[in-house]
Structure 1
Amino acid sequence: MTTLLLVDDHPMFLAGTQMILEKHGFIVAAAANAAEARQKLEQSRFDAYLYDLNLPEVNGFELTGMTLDRHPDACIVILTGEVLAEHFDRLMELGVSGLLDKSSTGDQLVTGLTLAMEGRVVLPLEFARQLRTKSFSRTNTDDAIRRRLTENERKVLELIAEGGKNKDIAAALFMSQRNVEYLISSIFEKLAVSSRQEAVARATALGYLS
């Protein structure tokens, strides 16, 4: 049986979602806020974590960070009714496994969670199409690549150039190794390279590194 921690501050939505998941065979621990979630995190480890983004006091970003600090390989899916484009980069940098809209049907919710636990990135189709359109509309120039690299990706590049291993980079930037691995994969994709050496050479040519 798959265990899951569900966190949402809307009582009716929390109860309804818990019921749907339990009907599909999940063992669900429900929490209405981050304080309850922390208690459950201290008591148990779960196969997956489904978090609302807009929580009171401690939001979904912070709760995700706390969870990954405790369990770096945790499968976390964010469930939100907000505009995803505003939060996508930050959530991916944190290390979430996917994003699901609160309007998802029960079957879509279960399918999304299942795929995330299999290591697949889960995104709403309409949002994924927007990302693809945006990506293809960019010209493949060095300036475009510069704009696409995030601050964390630049920091990781600098540490790679200094010979840092993943665990060293994670310690230096106060993040999990899983986050570092994601950032390195993102850097490789954006710079169109397949190794650290190529990434350093490409970044040097672009002026990121001296």
Structure 2
Amino acid sequence: MIRVLVVAASPLVRAGLSAVLTTDSKIMVVGSTADLNNVLTREIRQLQPDVVLLDLSSYAQKWDWEKLLPNQEETYSCAWLLITDELDSLHLTEALRFGVRGILPQTSSESEIIAAVESVALGLIVLHPDVLESLLSVKDSIRDTSLGNSIQALTPREIEVLEMLASGLANKAIAKRLQISEHTVKFHISSIFHKLGVSTRTQAVSVGVRFGLIML
């Protein structure tokens, strides 16, 4: 039996998703909530779902993946399946990086939602064709074309971290300013080093300045 926690702002959406899921004999809805702030700290720990079905499209605000989803310091056995009408490729990449195992558009059918829940519960990655098309259609994959193929593009968040490295801020200070964990800061710095082909902060800042990624 697949235990599912339904998260959505609208009670009608929660009821609708729960009704859809309960049509499958292999799925049991263990709870539903609108409170995103306590999903990680309370709902998941108490209900221990296998899958968290989160309808982001029912929330008015635009969510920061780093604040919304569990970071790599925390261990949750559940898989996250998102329903969203925000098919921005950068956000999708960040979501996958932070542990999401499935992404569906708001227009997904009942059968697609059920199939996605079953798939992510088995440990598979689920991307709806609309989502995959959004990812593959991105042509500007390198921030500065002068970098060539030898240096990969930095995300906006990585640029922020690089700018703070240039200012001489320590990991703890960066974490406090961005309101993320120190572990996540270390993750971003490691990614920056890899993408720029460097091994120290000084080298990263130097390359960033040289190619116009940041300014001193």
Q: What TM-score results when the alignment is normalised by the length of structure 1? A: 0.62
Counterpart of 2:54 in structure 1 is 51
Q: Which runs of 5+ in 1 are unaligned?
A: none
Matching residue's letter, 1:84: L
Counterpart of 2:6 in structure 1 is 6
- Greater helix share, structure number: 1
Q: Which of 40-49 and 6-15 deviates more?
A: 40-49
Following TM superposition, by how much is the alpha carbon of 1:6 offset from its aligned partner in structure 2, in angstroms?
A: 1.9
SS in 1 for 2:138: helix
Following TM superposition, by how much is the alpha carbon of 1:153 offset from its aligned partner in structure 2, in angstroms?
A: 1.9
Please tell me whether the aligned partners of residues 31 and 47 of structure 2 are also in contact (alpha carbons under 8 angstroms).
Answer: no
Counterpart of 2:120 in structure 1 is 112
The 5 A counterparts of 1:61-210 are 61=63, 65=67, 68=70, 72-74=74-76, 75-80=79-84, 82-85=85-88, 88-90=89-91, 92-93=93-94, 95=98, 97=100, 98-101=102-105, 102-103=108-109, 104-115=112-123, 122-135=126-139, 141-142=145-146, 149-161=154-166, 162=168, 164-165=170-171, 169-177=174-182, 179-180=184-185, 183-184=188-189, 187=192, 191-193=195-197, 195=199, 197=201, 199-207=204-212, 208-210=214-216
Counterpart of 2:34 in structure 1 is 33
Following TM superposition, by how much is the alpha carbon of 1:13 offset from its aligned partner in structure 2, in angstroms?
A: 2.5
Matching residue's letter, 1:123: L
Percent of residue pairs bearing the same amino acid type: 23
Q: Which runs of 5+ in 2 are unaligned?
A: none
Following TM superposition, by how much is the alpha carbon of 1:183 offset from its aligned partner in structure 2, in angstroms?
A: 4.1
Over aligned residue pairs, what C-alpha RMSD do you find? 4.4
Q: What TM-score results when the alignment is normalised by the length of structure 2? A: 0.60
Whole-Å separation in 2 of the counterparts to 1:5 and 1:60: 21
Whole-Å separation in 1 of the counterparts to 2:192 and 2:183: 14
| Residues 69-115 of structure 1: CA deviation (Å, up to 9, x unaligned) | 8x8455533123x2512xx4346546352422333253333223543
Please tell me whether the aligned partners of residues 57 and 86 of structure 2 are also in contact (alpha carbons under 8 angstroms).
Answer: no
Note closer, same or farther for the CA distance 1:106–1:63 as it changes in structure 2 (3 Å cut): same
Please tell me whether the aligned partners of residues 4 and 47 of structure 1 are also in contact (alpha carbons under 8 angstroms).
Answer: yes
Following TM superposition, by how much is the alpha carbon of 1:141 offset from its aligned partner in structure 2, in angstroms?
A: 0.9
Note closer, same or farther for the CA distance 1:63–1:170 as it changes in structure 2 (3 Å cut): closer
Whole-Å separation in 2 of the counterparts to 1:127 and 1:63: 17
Note closer, same or farther for the CA distance 1:35–1:126 as it changes in structure 2 (3 Å cut): closer
